[in-house]
Amino acid sequence: MNRNLFMNQEIHHVLNQVLKKIVPSTEERRMTENMCNKILESFEKVTKGRFSIKPMFCGSIAKDTWLAGNKDIDLFLLFRPNVSRENLTKYGLLVGKEIIKNLFGEIEIAYAEHPYVRGFVAGHKVEIVPAYDVKDPSKIKSAVDRTPYHVRYVNEKLNKNLTNDVRLLKQFTTGIGVYGSDLKTQGFSGYLCELLIIEYGTFENLLKNVPNWYPGMIIDIEKHYKSKKQIRKKFPNDPLVVIDPVDKNRNVASVLSPENFLLFIKKSKEFLEKPSVDFFFKPKESAPDIEEIKKYVKDRKTNFIFVKFRAPVVHQDVLWPQLRKLRKRLVDILGDEEFKTIRSDVWSDEKRCVIIMELLVDTLPNVRKRFGPSIFDEEGSKGFLSRYDGNNFLVEDKKWVVEHRRKYTSAVDVIRDFLAKKYDELRESGVPKNLAEEIHEDVEIFSGDDINRVIRRYEDLRRFLKEYFEKNLV
């Protein structure tokens, strides 16, 4: 049999298996439709004669791209643009709470750009989001105002025969760990998946094109720009640029990290070469034992420092950027003291956090060598000699060199002294606010064999470290 024909058959067999699991059943559709009707009835009851608000269902249910088992329903409350932000929030929360109350659901307040209501009703998560009913998506007043335009665009442009292809892409990106536009995942949003299917037609055709992608890849479905050069100038550092069809000034893939972009390309190639359901439903492996992780560390012969502290009680879209910022700050201060970091990362189960730094060496000699200006630079020489007065001065290549005593010979001491500061000093030194509060209260620093105390305690950290050691994006 022709290999290409055989592989196509294999791919179709796998995709059919996946679809049986991810396409909502007739019964599930009926239950979801009933819940949407009840929400609308409650909305009418709450708002009739009191508020001039338009209801609109958004999210994947409104576009028929939702996955089986997904019980999330998004109802947008569209206010007139002349309503103040204060009143939009005030009455949006009031109406949202009353809608859920009428349905005998549990209520909580969630936060994005402004507060919204999250309710739990008969097994469904219902998010009720106040937004402005703007007439032009380029003139939005809040970030969520674009969402209704996204729904209308997808419903108009997505061939109804291809909604299952969107489901396949969502499940594929979920299976390989890159689905989600939250700042923890930095992956593919549902809207991005929908646009990619609109652009490429089918899931299979998309995957066959992905191996030709490259960092800086550009997709402009509505041809908003005359040239790719214009787009690259506007979005110079994004690995994938997908121009929002309803707002040309926005890259739908802006949150996608370079690492996840490359991982998507790699996994697409691997799936085409050897199709398997495992790409869509990654089996949860048991956590590696401590000895397996210790072996990785021993084989690398590098030096690890773990900084552990309690996770602040904040939204994950606040937590993860702050963790990455702190990681970079710690790597930078180690570099200032000539401790080279090979790799670093962050881990959190959102109860506790660990900053991971892998160093070439964690101790250095007492003597530190610094180069100064040319010996012919009179003013520069005076300043250099004055600054390091009392040390040994030499000349190399007609430049001053000083050998002086190093302040830190231990990388752990660098980190310990930096994090031992008071809260205000931590903030002034570049530690993000929420993390500074926790670190000021309590922080632990581990190195050498002591890191095993942390690794032994947390199974998810061991899973994370195994992926860390085995990571390969090509």
Q: Is the model's pLDDT at 284 over the cut of 90?
A: no
Which candidate, 332, 342, 267, 339, places its Cα nearest to that of 302?
Answer: 342
**pLDDT-based confidence at 375, cuts 50/70/90?**
very high
> So what's the architecture of 6-155 in CATH?
2-Layer Sandwich (3.30)
Q: Is the model's pLDDT at 165 over the cut of 80?
A: yes
Q: What is the 3-state secondary structure (H, E, C) of 406-454?
A: CCCCEHHHHHHHHHCCCHHHHHHCCCCHHHHHHHHHCEEEEEHHHHHHH
pLDDT value for 180: 97
Which candidate, 230, 123, 231, 144, places its Cα nearest to that of 191?
Answer: 144
The DSSP bridge pattern shows strands 124-132 and 72-79 to be parallel
Return the axis-axis angle of helices 190-200 and 147-157, rounded to nearest 10°. Answer: 30
Contacts of 38 (CB under 8 A, 6+ apart): 103, 121
Q: Is the model's pLDDT at 2 over the cut of 70?
A: no
The burial of 470, by beta-carbon neighbours within 10 Å (0-12 exposed, 13-18 middle, 19 or more buried), is given as: exposed
**Fold classification of 290-363+409-470 (topology level):** Alpha-Beta Plaits (3.30.70)
Q: Are the C-beta atoms of residues 411 and 289 closer than 8 Å to each other? A: no
Q: Are the C-beta atoms of residues 337 and 312 closer than 8 Å to each other? A: no
**pLDDT-based confidence at 3, cuts 50/70/90?**
low
Q: Is the model's pLDDT at 4 over the cut of 70?
A: no
**Cα separation, 326 vs 346, whole angstroms:** 9
Q: Is the model's pLDDT at 22 over the cut of 70?
A: yes
**Cα separation, 346 vs 335, whole angstroms:** 18
pLDDT value for 114: 81
Q: What is the DSSP letter of 360?
A: S
Q: Is the model's pLDDT at 463 over the cut of 90?
A: yes
The DSSP bridge pattern shows strands 303-310 and 443-447 to be antiparallel
Q: Is the model's pLDDT at 282 over the cut of 90?
A: no
Q: Are the C-beta atoms of residues 204 and 210 closer than 8 Å to each other? A: no
- 57-90 tens-digit pLDDT: 999 999 999 999 999 999 999 999 999 999 999 9
CATH number of 158-279: 1.10.1410.30
Domain borders along the chain are: 6-155, 158-279, 290-363+409-470, 367-405
Mean pLDDT to the nearest integer, 151-170: 97
Beta bridge pairs of residue 251: 243
pTM score > 0.85 for this model? yes
Q: Is the model's pLDDT at 190 over the cut of 60?
A: yes
% of the chain surpassing 90 pLDDT: 93
- 386-441 tens-digit pLDDT: 999 999 999 999 999 999 999 999 999 999 999 999 999 999 999 999 999 999 99
3-state helix, strand, coil in the chain (%, to 5): 50, 20, 30
**Cα separation, 264 vs 212, whole angstroms:** 12
Q: Is the model's pLDDT at 149 over the cut of 70?
A: yes
Which candidate, 469, 470, 472, places its Cα nearest to that of 304?
Answer: 469
**Cα separation, 443 vs 435, whole angstroms:** 10
Which candidate, 399, 403, 404, places its Cα nearest to that of 381?
Answer: 399
pLDDT value for 138: 82
**Cα separation, 197 vs 448, whole angstroms:** 49
Q: Is the model's pLDDT at 1 over the cut of 60?
A: no
* Same CATH fold assignment for domains 290-363+409-470 and 367-405: yes
**Long-range contacts for 213-220 (Cβ within 8 Å, ≥24 apart)?**
213/240, 213/261, 213/265, 215/239, 215/258, 215/261, 215/262, 216/241, 217/241, 218/243, 219/195, 219/243
Neighbours of 397 (CB within 10 A): 8
Q: Which of 138-147, 165-174, 223-232 has the lowest mean pLDDT?
A: 138-147
**Fold classification of 367-405 (topology level):** Alpha-Beta Plaits (3.30.70)
Return the axis-axis angle of helices 459-470 and 290-300, rounded to nearest 10°. Answer: 30
Query: Cα-flanking dihedrals φ and ψ of residue 57, to 5°?
Result: -75, 135
